[in-house]
Amino acid sequence: MDYRTEHDTMGEMRIPADRYWGAQTQRSSENFSPNVERMPYGIIRALAVVKKASAIANNKAGRLDDRRRDIIIRVCDEILVGRLDGHFPLVVWQTGSGTQTNMNVNEVIANRGNELAGEKLLHPNDHVNMSQSSNDTFPTAMHISGVLEVNKHLLPALDEGIAVLGRLRSENMNIIKTGRTHLQDAVPITFGQEISAWEEMLRHDRENLAEAVKSLYRLALGGTAVGTGLNAPKGFAESAAEEIAALTGCPFTTSPNKFHGLTSFGGVVYVHGAVKALAADLMKIANDIRWLSSGPRCGLGEIFIPENEPGSSIMPGKVNPTQCEAMTMAAVQVMGNDAAIGFAASQGNFQLNVFLPVMAYNFLQSVNLIAEVFKFFTRKCLTGIHPNTEKMSENLGKSLMLVTALNPYVGYENAARIAKNAHEKNITLKESAISLGLLTAEQYDEYIIPAKMV
């Protein structure tokens, strides 16, 4: 491999000749294990937005000339479309401020820009990082990437799932089945009503996410090292935020208190809490579907789900609810990530929190994971659900909790006697009521009508 030599304030470093990064990136790649999680590209692309917006704002402030601005913008655009993905090698488990990743982006922009310019025109600190600090760029990138991932990936995935559940609810509203509480038989419900709960869960989760994500619209950029804005020109924060809003199509604004913006990550915790709430609901929905489809002969067997792949390496013909299992595992991961984010956000000291990369990694993993797994759960499971009406009718007829409808006519205690007697003697509720002399056959048929109980 061919190498070139670059330097930083600590001395010279050998860099692979075909890579655009510089000395600080190389130091970080050698000081931390490369065999762990890489910094998410969502952060890299968000930093490219920051650098592009900053170059425009610095140019408007008279601090950066047009040529340097244009080259920085050109390289940032290359980063945003993924053309330079191989030049960001750093891992999550680095400095807690994300400084090395900020410098990685600065160095790539500078070296690629100098290549385009045909001369050494850009310096990673003096030009690309002008009016910035890692302490304000990385938190800003966290907010930008968080908003974009939620708005562009998670909310559309939810919309698709909600639409499918709405169709299923409508199609199955008149199919009566046994309700269940405590995993025990309860009074009747329609299958459509059962599905309506799933649909409403996701509607609420979507509303909560859309509201929560607004807390990430305020950006720390312009606070520089400790929140005072040292080395940033007057108006830079506002100007850069306006550019970021224009570049992303999201209503980003500058944080009114940069000391808060650099040290508090309550917004990240808040939004991820909404993601966790979604994960909790998806866990419940997937488990309901797994229970209802259990069988095919020795379980509840009240619904059919798509048979996507063989379920066993030893049991021929076995098919498992694999989409449900994937969904529940993803939910568990999100819940674990939420704990990590909460702990990390609590660890700010004085003017900085140095747990930023782990928060960014876990947040973006949760959003991308739940969006992708739910998208396939919708397409490979939800869309193919249909009721086993024969089994639902059979279970409904056997349910002892139909006796609840007799409470107004025979009283709670006598209704309980009917149910217990039926269960002990393995007879129907109707047979039990008649044998106990509490009702005639005609009265029973008049009072027990499942369609009137839902």
Active-site annotation holder among 170, 312, 346, 435: 312
- CATH 1.10.275.10 in the chain: give the residue spans: 3-130
Asked if 205 and 118 touch (Cβ cutoff 8 Å), the reply is: no
| CA gap 228, 241 in Å, rounded | 17
In this prediction, residue 39 carries a pLDDT of 98
- Ramachandran region of residue 227, left (φ > 0), alpha (ψ -120 to 50) or beta? left
Choose among 128, 145, 112, 137: nearest CA to 40. Answer: 145
Domain with CATH 1.10.40.30 in the chain: 399-452
| Top-tier CATH class for 136-389 | mainly alpha
Per-residue pLDDT 10s for the chain (454 aa) are 899 999 999 999 999 999 999 999 999 999 999 999 999 999 999 999 999 999 999 999 999 999 999 999 999 999 999 999 999 999 999 999 999 999 999 999 999 999 999 999 999 999 999 999 999 999 999 999 999 999 999 999 999 999 999 999 999 999 999 999 999 999 999 999 999 999 999 999 999 999 999 999 999 999 999 999 999 999 999 999 999 999 999 999 999 999 999 999 999 999 999 999 999 999 999 999 999 999 999 999 999 999 999 999 999 999 999 999 999 999 999 999 999 999 999 999 999 999 999 999 999 999 999 999 999 999 999 999 999 999 999 999 999 999 999 999 999 999 999 999 999 999 999 999 999 999 999 999 999 999 999 9
For residues 343 and 349, what is the distance between their CA atoms, to the nearest angstrom?
13
Confidence at residue 1, expressed as pLDDT on a 0 to 100 scale: 86
Query: Cβ neighbours of residue 397 under 8 Å, at least 6 residues apart?
Result: none
Residue 13 gets which letter from DSSP? E
pLDDT of residue 432: 96
Query: Residues of CATH 1.20.200.10 domain(s) within the chain?
Result: 136-389
Pairing of strands 218-219, 253-254: parallel
Tell me, yes or no, if 312 is annotated catalytic: yes
pTM above the 0.75 mark? Answer: yes
The neighbouring-strand residues paired with 387 are 303
Distance CA 339, CA 296 (A): 38
Please state the CATH superfamily assignment of the domain spanning residues 3-130 in this structure: Fumarase/aspartase (N-terminal domain) (1.10.275.10)
Element (H, E) at 8: strand 3-8
- The conformational region for residue 42 under phi > 0 = left, psi -120 to 50 = alpha, else beta, is alpha
Q: Hey, what are 374's tokens?
A: 């739910």
3-class secondary-structure state, position 164:
helix
Q: Burial-class residue 109 by CB neighbours within 10 Å (0-12, 13-18, 19+).
A: buried
Q: What is the pLDDT of residue 227?
A: 98
Examine the residue annotation and report whether 143 is marked as an active-site residue of this protein.
no
What gap in Å lies between CA 133 and CA 258, rounded to an integer? 12
Kindly report the backbone phi and psi dihedral angles of residue 182, in degrees, each rounded to the nearest multiple of 5, phi listed first. 60, 25
What element of type H or E holds 44? helix 41-60
Fold of the 399-452 domain = Ribonucleotide Reductase Protein R1; domain 1 (1.10.40)
pLDDT of 9: 93
What b/e readout covers 167-178, taking b as 16+ CB neighbours within 10 angstroms? ebbeebeebbbb
Instruction: Determine the angle formed by the axes of helices 99-117 and 66-80, rounding to 10 degrees.
Output: 120
